[in-house]
Amino acid sequence: MKKAMTISYAIGEKLYLNLTNQCPCACTFCIRSMSDGAYGSDPLWLEHEPTMEEIIADLEARDLAAYTEIVFCGFGEPIMRLDAMLETAAYLKAHGAKSIRLNTNGLADLVYGKPTAAALEGKIDTVSISLNAGTQEAYLAVTRPKFGVPAFAAMQQYALDCKRYVSQVMLTVVDVLEPEQMQAAKALSQRLDIQLRVRTFDQAEIRR
């Protein structure tokens, strides 16, 4: 495991922010088990969680307006540092960021023991929530959340709550799902009236 202080990394016209390595899940397909980075980035395992001063210093070296989107997504779950993420989002909004997305497992309310979606209002433009499977049994087997059974319902409620405060909310699955699970995921997204995005799992790109 190579460690560094990669706080931000660019992929094409998007900038990704790596604020923490903490995560309450242990997904079976997590790229952390396959590589030290993603899409050619420097190692994303952090020597320590960056302070706000370090985050701002890193962002000051970037032309934030040059990116079509800035995404909270690294080698951990961004909401594990909710306060730092929100402060960073406010900084980005004030310094030319065009659009800000949060990639999350949707378990913030279980992490903090209270509803949290309202805190995203005015700071996050898009929330992308990892659905991972269409049924509770498959979700638990694939995502392996430390909260157990309540996680599946909590993730769905978080998605519904986010619709009240964020302009775009989507659920995501990876294209390696079995056909019956993909169909179940589509049915679930329709019941929740939330867009489903199917992501490509490209191992070669992860390892590049």
**65-96 pLDDT per residue, tens:** 999 999 999 999 999 999 999 999 999 999 99
User: Does residue 158 surpass a pLDDT of 50?
Assistant: yes
Which pTM does this prediction carry? 0.92
User: Does residue 205 surpass a pLDDT of 60?
Assistant: no
Distance CA 144, CA 133 (A): 12
- The percent of residues above 70 in pLDDT, for the chain, comes to 95
Distance CA 205, CA 208 (A): 5
Q: What is the pLDDT of residue 207?
A: 31
Distance CA 194, CA 192 (A): 5
Strands (E), 51-188: 69-72, 100-104, 126-130, 168-174
DSSP letter at 69 equals E
133 contacts 93 by C-beta, under 8 angstroms: no
Determine whether 148 is exposed, middle or buried from the number of CB atoms within 10 Å of its CB (0-12, 13-18, 19+). exposed
Amino acid letter, residue 66: A
Compute the half-sphere exposure of residue 194: CA atoms within 13 Å on the CB side of its CA: 30
